[in-house]
Structure 1
Amino acid sequence: MADCTHWLGDEVNGIWVCARCFSKHPERPRRYVMELSRESSGRPARQMVILAPIAQAGDVPLAMFIDFMARRLIARTRGGFHMADARDYAIEILRSFGEPFGSDDLDWTIAGAWEMVDEDMQCWDHDERASN
């Protein structure tokens, strides 16, 4: 885990993934703020929790995009990945592009997810099972 302080991301298989640097965190980032009492009767302020928002590119949240990539990896390797490993590898692929989720430089649709996986797999040494 990195010392990431970015605010946007999504939960992927129980781990919070940053949408900017794709680092993994054990829980969703949160901020605590004090809310002043609406009444002036001397009641103390109460603490509120603000959770980090879910990152989206159009209508596609980050977790869904990672799942698109993971399913493509599983299909292309003919079951050579388990879903958890495919998700982890998909996150590594995203890191390699160096662009935050939702940037205008990449396609964040299902076709874009498949293209990223296919592009990464071009560098693999292929055998009969299409694994590296």
Structure 2
Amino acid sequence: MTDQLCSPVTLALSAGQAGDNPMLWPLLAARCSNSYAPYHLLADKAYSHDSTRAQLRRLKIAHTIPERSDQITRRKAKGRNRGRPPGFSGRIYKHRNTVERSFNRLKHWRAVATCYDKYALTYLGDVTLAAIITYHRVRN
């Protein structure tokens, strides 16, 4: 997770082939336990599953997530009772590039970009060190 200044706020390491959506809940749990400030979740289409949106609504987390094309087709196929599309603000969503910029800042570190470490714990240490230094460079 990143903040508006493109600096990393929460880190979690997942398996290389794992999907993004299952890692959302550990990231949100770490973020919620560290801060009580309100925030707005910006995510891509990988997080647009109905259960994810329902859980975010239950947790009262404001979110902007675009709808996948298969979800739009499924909703329209239901006919008149298809329901309304989830709220989406293109104006807010355009700020999601802060996540990509944060990844690019971390990849300036060779150890993070190449990922040659044998152990996940060593790689997580490299990423954490790069994130801490990047965070302080952005803040100062």
Q: Report if TM-score (shorter chain) is over 0.5.
A: no
Structure number, greater radius of gyration: 1
Normalising TM by the smaller chain, what interval?
under 0.3
Q: Which has more helix, going by share of residues?
A: 2
